[in-house]
Amino acid sequence: MGMTMAEKIIAAHAGLDHVEPGDLVEVRVDFVMANDITAALAIREFEKLGVEGVFDRERVAFVADHFVPPPNIKAAEQCMTVRTWARRKGILYFEGGREGGIEHIVLPEQGLVLPGEIIIGADSHTCTYGALGAFSTGVGSTDAAVAMATGRLWLKVPPTMRLFYHGTLRPWVTAKDLILHTIGRIGVDGALYMAMFFTGPVIQSLSMDGRFTITNMAIEAGAKAGLMEVDEKTLDYVRPRAKRPFTVYRDDPDARYEVDLDFNVSEWEPVIAVPHLPSNVRPVSELADIRIDQVFIGSCTNGRIEDLRLAARILQGQRVHPEVRCIIIPGSGPTYRQALEEGLIDIFVEAGAVVGLPSCGPCMGGYSGVLGPGERCVSTTNRNFIGRMGHPTSEVYLANPAVAAASAIMGRIASPEEVRAQAMAA
Amino acid sequence: MHFHGRAWVFGDNIDTDVIIPGRYLNTTDPKELAAHCMEGIDPEFPRKVQPGDIVVAGRNFGSGSSREHAPISLKAAGVSCVIAKSFARIFFRNAINIGLPVLECPEAVEAIAPGDELEVHLDTGEIHNRRTGQTFRAKPYPPFMLELIRAGGLIPYTRARLQQERA
């Protein structure tokens, strides 16, 4: 019986010829990551292990992004702890600046996570790197601490769910809509403990930025990992950046899938996940009477250059609605610079949006856009849980960057077509 | 290991933002985290929960963020264990790693009402409801995970292993 890509990567890292779903194996990990929140706990656990240094200083990174720059003294202290420890141990450390930003944008950009690798990160959206053909999964701080010390971790081999996308994408239907539709269909625990394998011509047609958006949200269906095939686009992205040699794995023709799903995307519309689950997916056209107080465009889901270009296409020559706070945050230093060069930042500022510093921003209610009681936000992020972005009675509506930008202009949930129509009429 | 406490019953998909909201993650102090435990769904929970009490929930408990602060806040609030129909995988790992027992048992969850007095025997996986007299058996842990639990979590387990390797 053949193996899936996920099984092959795990087998290779466990020193085995073959693994089966359900097997408990110990694997060698290629890279370990933690952020300013999870690293603070990981450090404390690491210190209990009685080892001096990490297993490999070039393969452990802390990325400060959740509370950066610090919004208060406690966050500043936490960040100091993480930064000081990282410097003392000589591991990789990113905090703002030229190369820093959001962990899941920074590490691929810097060529630190590569095809065929096992990457673990103390952040649930570590599954993002699966777009590169890696087995990449989120863990807690204690697992991260043990992996930092030993370069090893135990894993249960997940069964694979294959998702095949075909058809033609309609205008304004983006990678974000593909993953929201998918989660709406299978539910927030529809892929619990599984590896999701996204494939088919529609996936192949996406840019790397779009692909990262999809694998980023595999966790929102409960998955352990989200993977994609390595193709020319992957290699074009990876080759100039790669800090290490890498191996490409592919599914065997007779690989076994626990679940095999087929999606014809041709009839799909842009969608929004309404509070309070990413699976509460509705067409944008059904939600047009919902007034909003804030729009956030950014995050590890939609904070890449292609997302900013899409938002700029809608916002160019337009004004943000006077009752809406529109926050746009490029996901990393290089993304910010690129957006500046392309004139996107100009478009945003001219439209009346606030452009923030590369970080997670308000996504998890940290700062720079925390919602008050009953406030509503259309957000390009990945979670709309109760209280995620602030007060327990606030509401988050998950959308693609074009829908978010259109909503910022209209002051209510709106489709990009409506903005176009309004502009034509004016 | 054996626990005894009152049941706190919650629904499906209790996520880690509800268990401990992101705005409190500028600390790693278990006591501070406990003071906001379950705040997103029941702000009175930290004041009402008694040491030993048991959280009972539906499907996909602990979904969302990987924050280990979630099981830490539950444990520090006095919760002795969590029984659910199913767990999100990162939460499950985190709970075992930090020594918060978690049991998967959909039948038991169906038959537990808020405030029921429960007895949990971790070695056998038995869950006894004193009010109804019913006893259920949770899905057994794989042997490797039992070894982790008996060692007191992943850190003591790994420390012992590293010492052995050096010896």
Question: Over the stretch A183-219, which tens digit does the pLDDT of each residue have?
Answer: 999 999 999 999 999 999 999 999 999 999 999 999 9
Choose among B27, B97, B142: nearest Cβ to A143.
B97
Which of A348, A284, A285 lies closest to A312, judged by CA? A348
The radius of gyration computed from the CA coordinates of chain A, to the nearest angstrom, equals 21
pLDDT recorded at residue B145: 87
Residue contact A364–B158, C-beta within 8 A: no
**B154 and chain A: CB distance < 8 Å anywhere?**
yes
For A106, other C-beta atoms within 10 Å of its C-beta total 26
Residue contact A383–B28, C-beta within 8 A: no
| Mean pLDDT for chain B overall | 95
Mapped onto helix, strand or coil, the DSSP state of residue A296 is strand
Question: Over the stretch A138-154, which tens digit does the pLDDT of each residue have?
Answer: 999 999 999 999 999 99
Residue contact A141–B68, C-beta within 8 A: yes
| Mean pLDDT for chain A overall | 97
Residue contact B17–A387, C-beta within 8 A: yes
**B151 and chain A: CB distance < 8 Å anywhere?**
no
Choose among B22, B60, B155: nearest Cβ to A366.
B22
List, in order, residues 6 or more apart from B95 with CB less than 8 Å away.
B62, B71, B82, B87, B101, B102
Number of residues that make up chain B: 167
Chain A stretch 180-209, residues whose beta carbon is closer than 8 A to a beta carbon of chain B:
188-189, 192-193
Mean local confidence (pLDDT), A345-363: 97
One-character DSSP codes across B117-140: EEEEETTTTEEEETTT--EEEPPP
Q: What's at A27, amino acid-wise?
A: V
Mean local confidence (pLDDT), A208-231: 98
Integer Cα distance of B109 and B113 in angstroms = 8
Under 8 Å between Cβ of A139 and A270: no
Report residue A5: phi and psi, to 5°: -55, -45
Choose among B23, B66, B88: nearest Cβ to A366.
B23
DSSP bridge pairs for B156: none
Mean local confidence (pLDDT), B106-121: 97
pLDDT recorded at residue B141: 86
Q: For residue B98, what is the nearest residue in chain A, using CA coordinates?
A: A142
Q: For residue B23, what is the nearest residue in chain A, using CA coordinates?
A: A366
**A69 and chain B: CB distance < 8 Å anywhere?**
no
pLDDT recorded at residue B1: 78
pTM: 0.97
Mean local confidence (pLDDT), A161-190: 98
**What's the gap in Å between the CA of B130 and the closest CA on chain A?**
31
**What's the gap in Å between the CA of A124 and the closest CA on chain B?**
5
Integer Cα distance of A103 and A253 in angstroms = 34
**B26 and chain A: CB distance < 8 Å anywhere?**
yes
% of chain A exceeding 90 in pLDDT: 97
Residue contact B155–A383, C-beta within 8 A: no
Q: Report residue A53's pLDDT band, with 50, 70 and 90 as the boundaries.
A: very high
Question: Over the stretch A264-317, which tens digit does the pLDDT of each residue have?
Answer: 999 999 999 999 999 999 999 999 999 999 999 999 999 999 999 999 999 999
Cβ neighbours of A49 in B, within 8 Å: 155, 158-159, 162
Chain B stretch 71-100, residues whose beta carbon is closer than 8 A to a beta carbon of chain A:
72, 86, 88-90, 93-94, 97-98
Integer Cα distance of A215 and A342 in angstroms = 27
Residue contact A146–B155, C-beta within 8 A: yes
Residue contact B66–A149, C-beta within 8 A: no
Choose among B13, B26, B65: nearest Cβ to A67.
B26
Say yes or no to pLDDT of B96 above 80: yes
B contact test, residue of A142, A384, A398 with most B CBs within 10 A: A142
Under 8 Å between Cβ of A245 and A115: no
Question: Over the stretch B11-58, which tens digit does the pLDDT of each residue have?
Answer: 999 999 999 999 999 999 999 999 999 998 999 999 999 999 999 999
Say yes or no to pLDDT of A426 above 80: no
Under 8 Å between Cβ of A119 and A135: yes
% of chain A exceeding 70 in pLDDT: 100
pLDDT recorded at residue A320: 98
**What's the gap in Å between the CA of A77 and the closest CA on chain B?**
8
Say yes or no to pLDDT of B167 above 90: no
**B35 and chain A: CB distance < 8 Å anywhere?**
no
Residue contact A40–B59, C-beta within 8 A: no
